[in-house]
Chains A and B, each alone.
Chain A
Amino acid sequence: MSDLFIVDDLTVTFPTSRGPVEVVKNLSFTVGRDDTLGIVGESGSGKSMTALAVLGLLPRGAQTSGSVRLDGTELLGKSERDLRAVRGNAISMVFQDPLSSLNPYYTVGLQISEMYQTHQGGSRRAAKQVAIEALERVGIPDPERRVDHYPHQFSGGQRQRVMIAMALCCSPSLLIADEPTTALDVTVQAQILELLAELQSTTGTGMIFITHDLAVISSIAQRVLVMREGDPVEYGTAEQVFSDPQHEYTRMLLDAVPRIDDEVPA
């Protein structure tokens, strides 16, 4: 099997006072090496829950069934201890808001090197060197000096670059990006997308890109999964989904994107 990451029939259920609620229903997809899967859907469609389920980070009480395999290893049902070794190491994650995802009390260098040391070990000095290299790789100018700066001393786009540097410092085989560009303005957004694509082509990391922005998906993903209220609505190559959407909901989403050649409503 050449696929890196296989999710098969994943279902996530939350118990509520009005009975169990399925927030993700019978989801199946695959991500290959050097491949990007885009997951699109409106708020509450289960996109982020899917990402958390994969990492075993769901809130207490949630139940999962199905299968999640990375390089042939089943992740669902693994012990907390084993999962911790996977998180940040084999699978890492980039979050939406880079300011709130970085701890304001530590320098970015410390946060990157701590993550590296947790998973890869090594001396503090070596880890700091890794942090400097990681910052350089994501295009932070003057990384030797910037490594000792605090998150509030970086701009929004730079913070997201720091988050990406942190996510990639252990050379994960899969990167989950949960709306990484939503909090950024459009020009910075484009830079970050470019950076992600470039890093992916050099490292061969598989990527799951979660967003509600169809324009972003069309520029980065090879395969697209459309979700609605926990249901996988449509799954296929980006070309297929965008040019010939099979499902009515996908068509609706695509129609909601304003186009430059649209008629102005009267």
Chain B
Amino acid sequence: MTTSPTLVEVEEAVPSGPLAPPTSGKRVVTTITRDKGALACLVFLAIVVLMAVAAPLITKLSGWGPYQFDSAAINSDLGGVPHGSLGGISGSHWFGVEPQNGRDLFARIVYGARVSITISLSATLLTGILGVVLGMLAGFYRGWVDQVISRLMDFLMAFPALIFMIAILSSLPSGNRPVLLVVVISVFGWPYLARVIRGQTMTLANREFVEAARASGAKDTQVVFREILPNLRGSIVVMTTLAIPGFIGTEAGLSFLGVGVSPPTASWGQMIASSVSWYSVDPMFFAIPGAFLFLTVLSLTVLGDKIRTLIDQGEAA
């Protein structure tokens, strides 16, 4: 062996900086709390979630339950238009009352938040699990597994989902509508996540660290859970946060069409649907649930977008 000359240590000095992977959860949180727009969205969402969680407590405080009729608040001579201006907004009915039957709008908004949040979060969770598991299976094993899953995804994505949802939800017994809604939304929602996960798994599976892990004696399960899944974290977080507003909208849309949550359970979409015939005499009946729906979806979208930018930057760094 030839002797190599003595070498001066030229490797660069130890890079300083916090001990953190490219995108840490902490960094996402600090950046969002510094951004005023994002912070406002976060605060609004916190209020909505708080409303949903503490609904019975809040309605006790406001004095009216969501199913209580207040015939004193409406003018039955005028066909049930609420007394007072702006849809009957007063000290006892903070957001006014429903025309015709006088149910408290505030209480129904609070309980409606419950429905929206529960359904959209459960649908996101179910979609997330289905999408990640099936996407990774297809991307990791390829071959016939991929063929079967991909064709199923193509089929579901090409399918007129809304029409099918309406058909299925109106034909099935309305025993447990919220569960049914979650299942139907997820069945049509997972391919969008799975398609992205499949593609990323395919590129990750060919990365050298996966090959290195195999060459070090790692099992398939170790490769999938220890090497590939953590690297998909960013995409999963972004895809699911951006999916929540979509699901809230879908739930509201289906309730609007009369196939969602069945009355008397309150839901924002259903409130908007019943306000349609009243919009000229009582615009607030439409404006209030509409505004809540709009702001919730907007906040979630803005936040999701923000998180995506942060994670993209982290991955590029």
Q: Which of A87, A96, A103, A155 contacts B214 (CB 8 A)?
A: A87
Q: Are B21 and A86 in contact (CB under 8 A)?
A: no
Within 8 A of B (CB), among A144-185: 146, 148-150, 152-155, 157-158, 163, 166
Closest to B19 in A: A148
Q: Is B208 positioned at the interface, with any CB of A under 8 Å from its CB?
A: yes
Q: Which residues of A contact B208 (CB under 8 A)?
A: 95-97, 100-101
A191–B17 Cα distance when bound, in Å, is 26
Tell me if B227 counts as interface (CB < 8 A to partner A).
yes
Q: Is B27 an interface residue (CB 8 A)?
A: no
Contact residues in A for B233 (Cβ distance below 8 Å)? 105
A95 partner, pick from B7, B15, B212, beta carbons under 8 A: B212
What is the bound-complex CA distance between A90 and B143, given in angstroms? 32
**Is B230 at the interface (CB under 8 A from chain A)?**
yes
Q: How far is the CA of A96 from the CA of B207 in the complex (A)?
A: 12
Give the distance to chain B from A79, nearest Cβ to Cβ, in Å: 13
* Chain B residues positioned under 8 Å from A84 (CB to CB): 217-219
Q: Nearest Cβ distance between residue B151 and chain A, in whole angstroms?
A: 21
A220 to B, closest residue via Cβ? B1
Majority SS of interface residues in chain B? loop
* B217 with A87: CB separation less than 8 A: yes
Cβ–Cβ contact A101 & B209, under 8 A = yes
Is there a chain A Cβ closer than 8 Å to B35's Cβ?
Answer: no
Does B14 lie within 8 Å of A100, measured CB to CB?
Answer: no
A201 — nearest CB in chain B belongs to which residue?
A: B1
Which A residue's beta carbon lies closest to that of B17? A153
Measured between alpha carbons, how far is A95 from B213 in the docked complex, in Å? 11
A191 touching B2 in the complex, CB below 8 Å, given contacts A100-B209, A102-B209: no
Please name all residues of chain A whose beta carbon is closer than 8 Å to the beta carbon of B212 when the two chains form the complex: 93, 95, 101-102, 163
Does B231 count as interface, using CB distance less than 8 angstroms? yes
Q: Which one of B9, B11, B217 has the greatest number of beta carbons of chain A within 10 Å?
A: B217
In the bound complex, do residue B11 and residue A104 qualify as a contact, i.e. CB atoms below 8 Å apart?
no
By a CB distance below 8 angstroms, the chain B residues around A89 are 217
> Are B1 and A219 in contact, CB atoms less than 8 angstroms apart?
yes
Chain A interface, number of residues (Cβ within 8 angstroms): 51
A115 and B7 contact, CB distance less than 8 A: no
What chain A residues lie within 8 Å of B10 (beta carbons)? 187-188, 191
Known: A57-B215, A85-B217, A92-B216. A219 touches B209 (CB 8 A): no
- Check A118 against B11 for contact (C-beta < 8 Å): no
Q: How far is the CA of A114 from the CA of B217 in the complex (A)?
A: 11
Assembly CA distance A188 to B4 (angstroms)? 12
Docked complex Cα distance between A219 and B214 (Å):
30
Does B20 lie at the interface of the complex (its beta carbon under 8 Å from any beta carbon of A)?
yes
Contact with A along B207-245 (1 / 0, CB 8 A): 111011111111100100011001101000000000000
Interface residues of B in 167-224 (CB under 8 A from A): 207-209, 211-219, 222
Q: Which residues of B contact A118 (CB under 8 A)?
A: 216-218, 222
User: In the complex, which residues of chain A have a beta carbon less than 8 angstroms from the beta carbon of B7?
Assistant: 187, 190-191, 194
A64–B5 alpha-carbon span in the complex (Å)? 42
Does residue B56 face the partner (Cβ distance < 8 Å to A)? Answer: no
Q: For residue B224, give the distance in angstroms from its CB to the closest CB of chain A.
A: 13
- Choice from A97, A114, A152, A155 contacting B226 with Cβ under 8 Å: A114
Given the complex, which residues of B lie within 8 Å of A30, measured CB to CB?
Answer: none
Beta-carbon contact of B209 and A150 below 8 Å: no
Q: Across the interface, which residues of B come within 8 angstroms of A88, CB to CB? A: 215-218
By the criterion CB–CB under 8 Å, are A197 and B214 in contact?
no
B77 within 8 A of A: no
The answer to the question of A193 belonging to the interface, with a C-beta cut-off of 8 Å to chain B, is: yes
A119: CB under 8 A from chain B?
A: yes
Query: CA A142 – CA B13 in complex, angstroms?
Result: 11
* Pairwise interchain contact B1-A197, C-beta atoms closer than 8 A: yes
Report yes or no: A150 in contact with B217, Cβ–Cβ below 8 A: no
Cross-interface CB contact of A55 among B4, B9, B213, B215, cutoff 8 Å: B215
Contact status A105-B4, CB under 8 Å: no
B216 touches A150 (CB 8 A): no
CA A76 – CA B216 in complex, angstroms?
Answer: 17
A110 and chain B: residue at smallest CB distance: B226
Give, as a whole number of angstroms, the nearest-CB distance from B22 to chain A. Answer: 6
**Does residue A13 face the partner (Cβ distance < 8 Å to B)?**
no
* Cα of A114 to Cα of B225 in the assembled complex, Å: 13
List chain B residues, Cβ under 8 A from A86. Answer: 217
Pair B21/A150 contact, Cβ less than 8 Å: yes
Q: Which residues of chain A come closer than 8 Å to B231, judged between CB atoms?
A: 103-105
Of all A-B residue pairs in the complex, the 3 with the closest CB atoms, nearest first, are: A88-B216, A87-B217, A88-B217
Given contacts A101-B211, A105-B233, A155-B12, could you give 7 more A-B pairs where the C-beta distance is less than 8 Å? Answer: A55-B215, A87-B217, A93-B215, A95-B212, A101-B212, A153-B15, A194-B7
**Would you mind naming 12 contact pairs between A and B with Cβ atoms under 8 Å apart?**
A86-B217, A87-B214, A100-B208, A103-B226, A104-B231, A105-B231, A106-B230, A153-B15, A155-B12, A191-B7, A197-B1, A219-B4
Listed in ascending order, the chain A residues whose CB lies under 8 Å from chain B are 55, 57, 60, 84-89, 92-93, 95-97, 100-107, 114-115, 118-119, 141-142, 146, 148-150, 152-155, 157-158, 163, 166, 187-188, 190-191, 193-194, 197, 218-220, 222
